[in-house]
A and B are shown apart, each in its own frame.
Chain A
């Protein structure tokens, strides 16, 4: 089983700042099998990034993803008020498909 460890647990930032979220896999995984989701309270997750760096339809270009073997990064270039939420990475190669525990981006 691939364990995804997200860091930090909580990121306290101000609107306009840059957010860098990390997702580390317990073993080497293909970036094509890595996705990022955003979740706001009381809502279902929303797909942001798939195949490590492809933005889903309608996702603003301030969101970007990158990978390097076992380390994956979600970057929000300039935080907008609606970006404060919890972010999850997900891997779906092999079984079981797994999610990270989440990074909460909160307003400083």
Chain B
């Protein structure tokens, strides 16, 4: 049974950065894409980007390009997302999610992490 366990809630000030982790267990980490999706009351669900760990290159949603970095560490089966230049609009629940297919970054997410609340406040 594949599980994704995310790091805990974060509070950050505007202009700072945050890094959230997502540790996989019980399955094959390296060949399934890990995506990051955030959820806000105002904007709903937004795909931020994803990575197939075995390939190592991330792809990002246009509105996050330049402000986000997604990485994966095969040795620890952990994916990370770092978001910079935070504003109050980045206050959201951030989810990692595993792609259903292997070796492809596609938007069918069959396993999700529990979510990490990130609050941006002065």
Which residues of A pack against B, CB within 8 Å? 33, 35, 37, 44-47, 50-51, 56-57, 88, 90-92, 95-102
Say whether chain B's binding surface is mostly helix, strand, loop, or mixed. strand
Q: Is the CB of A96 within 8 A of B62?
A: yes
Q: A45-B37, A45-B112 are in contact. List 12 more A-B contacts (CB 8 A).
A: A44-B112, A45-B97, A45-B109, A47-B100, A47-B110, A50-B100, A56-B100, A56-B110, A92-B108, A96-B62, A98-B47, A99-B46
The 10 closest A-B CB pairs, nearest first, are: A92-B107, A44-B112, A99-B45, A97-B47, A50-B108, A96-B61, A97-B107, A47-B110, A35-B108, A96-B62
Q: 5 interchain pairs (CB within 8 A)?
A: A44-B95, A44-B113, A47-B100, A88-B45, A99-B44
Q: Is the CB of A95 within 8 A of B108?
A: no
Interface size class for chain B?
Answer: 20 to 34
Q: Is the CB of B112 within 8 A of A96?
A: no
In the assembled complex, the CB of B35 is this many whole angstroms from the nearest CB of chain A, namely 9
Q: Once bound together, how far apart are the Cα atoms of A64 and B119, in whole Å?
A: 37
In the assembled complex, the CB of A2 is this many whole angstroms from the nearest CB of chain B, namely 11
Q: Once bound together, how far apart are the Cα atoms of A51 and B108, in whole Å?
A: 9
